[in-house]
Chain A
Amino acid sequence: MTPDTTAYLVLGLLVTFGLMGALVGSMLWRYRALRKDEQTLRQLLDEER
C-alpha cells in the first residue's frame, strides 16, 4: 500500500520556497536600505559643495 506522505511534501515545498523567498527578501531589503543611504550621502555631498 502506498503511504500517505503528502504532509511531508507540503512541508518540503514550504521550506524550499520559504528559504528562497528569505534570500530574495533579504537582497531586496538590503538593496532598499543601500539606495536610501546612497541618496542621503549624495544630498550631503551636494550640500557641501
Chain B
Amino acid sequence: MATKTLTPTKTTSTTIPRALAALTLVTLLATLGGLLLGLLYAGTDDQQGHIQRIFYIHMPAFFGAFVAFGTTVFGGLAYLRTRQAKWDTLALAGVETGLALAVVNLATGSIWARPIWNTWWTWDPRLTSAAIMALTYMAYLMLRAGIENPDQRRRFASVYGILAITTVIMTLVIIRIRPDTIHPAVIGSSPQNAEGGFGLTSSMLTALMGNLPVWGLLIPVTLMWWRVRLESVQERVEALKARLGEK
C-alpha cells in the first residue's frame, strides 16, 4: 500500500517583529543588569545577610504581576465593548504572565521567610491574600479551559478577569489596613518592620529602583507580547481545522 509522506508545502511567516526582538534583547540585558545591581552593587544587610537581596526580585515581581493583571482588566473591558477576540487574547496573556510573576513573588517571599521568620509559610493576612490572588488566577485558566463555546468562554473570562483584580488590590492594601500582619512595609514606615524589615541604604535603593522597571514592566510586557503571538498561531490552527472540517 502506498503511503503519502507529509512534507511541508507552504510555510507561513515566522518572522519576529523587529520591535519584539529588540524588546526581548533589552529585557534580557536589563534582567542581567538588575541581577548584577542586586548581587554586586547593593550592600549586604547586617541583620539578614545575603537573603535580603532576593527582595530586589520579590517586590518588583509583584508589581509585574500587577501590571499583567491590570492588562487583563483592560483586555476584558475592551473585549466586552468591541467583542473582538484580540482583546481576549491580550487578557489571557496578562493572566499567564501575571500568574508566573505572582508565583515568583510567593516563592521568593517564602524562601526569605525561612531564615528571617524561621518558617516557610505563615497564615499572615498579606501572605494569605497573595495566595488567594494566585489561586484566583489559576482558577481563571482552569475555568476558561472548561468552556467549549468560544464566545461564551471569552465573555466569561472577561468578566472574571475584571473582577479578579480585587484580589490584587486587596493584597496591595492589606498591610495598611490590617495591624496584625507581620509582613514588612517597604515604602513608608510601619510597626511591622521590627519583624524583619527593610531599612534601605542608598545602594539598596538604587538596586531596587533598577529592578522595578525590569520586573515590573519590561518582563511582563515582553512575555505578554510573546504569549499573544503564540495565541495567534493557535487561532490560525483552529481556522485551518475548521476549513478542513468543512470539506
Spell out A's residues near B (CB within 8 Å): 2-6, 8-9, 11-13, 15-16, 19-20, 23-24, 27, 30-31, 34-35, 37-48
Contact = CB atoms under 8 A, between A and B. Distances in A.
Contact of A35 (B46, B61, B107, B233): B233
A19 B9 contact: no
B96 interface: yes
B205 interface: no
Contact of A40 (B6, B35, B47, B108): B6
Contact of B10 (A4, A20, A24, A46): A46
B8 A34 contact: no
Contacts of A12: 51, 54, 57, 107-108, 111-112
The prevalent SS among residues of B at the interface is helix
Category for how many chain B residues contact A: 35 or more
22 contacts: A8-B114, A11-B111, A12-B112, A15-B108, A16-B61, A19-B100, A19-B104, A31-B233, A34-B230, A35-B14, A35-B233, A38-B12, A38-B236, A38-B240, A39-B10, A39-B11, A40-B6, A41-B240, A42-B8, A43-B10, A44-B244, A45-B240
B97 to A, nearest CB: 8
Given A2-B44, A20-B219, A23-B96, 19 more contacts: A3-B49, A4-B50, A8-B54, A9-B50, A13-B57, A16-B57, A16-B104, A16-B108, A19-B103, A23-B223, A34-B230, A38-B12, A39-B8, A41-B240, A42-B8, A43-B6, A43-B8, A43-B10, A45-B243
